[in-house]
Structure 1
Amino acid sequence: MYETTPMTHITIVTQPVGPIGEAQTRSLLNIMAEIGEVSLISGPIDDPDLKQYQTQQYTESRTGKGAIPDAVDFVRNQIALSTLVRNVDTDILWFNGMQLYTLPIWIAKSTDVPVVVQPKGDVPLALYLNWDIPESVRRTLFRVLRRVEHIGYSLADFTVFYSPSMAEEYGIDNAITNGMRYISDDFGYDTHFEDRDPKIGFLGRHNADKNIKTIVEIAKSVDYEFHFAGTGPMLDWVRNQTSKDDSINIHGWVEDPEEFLNEMRLLVYPSSPIEGLPTTIMEAHACGTPTITTAVSGNPDIVIDGETGYLIDEASAEKFVDKIESAEFDELRKMSANCREMAAEQFTKEAAVERYEAIIRTVTGGSTP
């Protein structure tokens, strides 16, 4: 147990957690457990590591049922959650990925404890890209949700972002910007860069908000063996689009993502602002694999152009291909070493705990992080 604020009780509030959100939530809870007492208010949870922290559940519903059912649940959940947070006994209420839940955030303000809002990504944009409803309706709902999101930020006593560039992307002033998480010790440098074959690839969920169509264009155009790893609603589409190209390999779900990343010379990741700070890029760093990605959200804080990867100003297949084809082996090898150095200094649990200790001191009235 770290000694900065050992008796601080931190209550983390999250949406119903899916498989991807479980890893993010687990990371935050593990950090906070080193600093103070932690409890979790959420929806249904399957992960036993998360269940040990859960003290209250405000809904039985899960997300991903469709735009209208999810919207109905969203309203119900806000009402149910408002009742819980009004009566919770804690020192800090920490809304993780909950910036749209303005009613419980507002109610939490009446409890006389600090209220923190920490976005994990761009929720309105993610919903816009994945809703299967008429475009005019999508645009209207997107604009409404964007306004609701900024109300959530304005109600909070503190907003915490993973990195300075992420806060800048979201247009939030006076935010705390050192809330980067950590990655598992499972990710490490197992295959020397000199021993790797000329392979590049993508690891992640195959859906629209990953710019998967752009990645397929890149895979078809580069003079490299290209590998796709991961699953998602567009996996079959990717298979159909690439079935005639022998240089493209579709792995689907991989049991050992560390092994996959250790085989790549370059991770191709045309990220969107939805993600905040992609964990996959951090994991690639630890494996000594540079990343080529877009200069959005928190990416510029860990992908230093020309040092730990390449930053492209937009998710353009042509621009990605031009940069990939011009990359030299010696340059990539040096980047690999830089990636490992950054991961060792910034992406460990110890480093994350130090960052969050400073944040908690700020939230509870101590010094600025």
Structure 2
Amino acid sequence: MASAPIRVMIVDDSAIVRQVASEAIAAQPDMRVLATAADPLFAIEKMRKEWPDVIVLDIEMPRMDGLTFLRKLMAERPTPVVICSSLVDRGARVSLDALAAGAVSVVAKPKVGVKQFLQDESESLVAAVRAAASARLQPLRQAAVPRPKLTLDDLPRGPRLAPSGDRTRVVAIGTSTGGTQALESVLTTLPEDVPGIVVVQHMPAGFTDMFARRLDGLARIRVREACHGDRVEPGLALIAPGGRHLQLARDGRGYHVGVVDGPLINRHKPSVDVLFRSVARAAGHNALGIIMTGMGDDGALGLKEMRDAGASTIGEAEETCVVFGMPKEAMLRGAVESVLPLHDIGAGLVAWSRTPTNRA
């Protein structure tokens, strides 16, 4: 028996956005546009008749702003929400607030040329809606068959660095849908003496710097958006910039990162797989890899390469994932050594960092 289509409501004061987004959603065989509304108050009236599975929500609207509506929604009847927001600095800050308030993901839109942008990027919007429908807030739905994509197998492996006498440890974390809250949960529990951390969170360009600044204000460790050549230091978490891959490298002074351009891997840039492969080569058994909530399989192959290189690995348990896709795929490939719920991952990281290793 076929699954019922995902019912989508689009709430945006722009008639053009409502039109183009509706066309993109209506073209999907597993989705239907339940309703559109020019602001949250109109949306509330329509939701009394039939409740949507996913809401595509603007931030700046008349009568009630999207953030206020989101908080009200999550307090009274949690429903998956995709934020469709501008890429300006203020929009980035508000969108991060929305993610913290419970939005599943963000699709960035420009201030000008919105119609053409949404037509060109309709696949991103549809993917975000499909991921939201699969989030823990709702019963999981069967995702559509993915399109062909570049994976780690399409990239040259490159040489593994010769073993080093340096025992300096490093932690690599990869996450996607639901990861903004998950990263906050983990990083804010860590003491200042933890090993250096490198992070890939799937997030659009223009948002990661603000996200890192927000975490830096909450955590005892330092958190910042990575720049090419940054050293990896104890008590510091470097987050991959949106739109760029992050790679770990080693020299005579220790670890540093490269921030590089390149093709989308697993439909993402930054890609968790790209980071994890570089950590396997540069750090080997001195590394800990952690894969957390997210849709798809990005990071599964890279985490397996880390484990094969002697690294310790952790996967987030299904019961705490917003979307179990990424950890599940890593587990199926034998890449995960330990399975921990989100609230135990920080403690697991600290315990690993303080336990002597016999790995070679």
Instruction: Give the TM-score normalised by the residue count of structure 1.
Output: 0.41
Structure with more strand by fraction: 2
Structure with more helix by fraction: 1
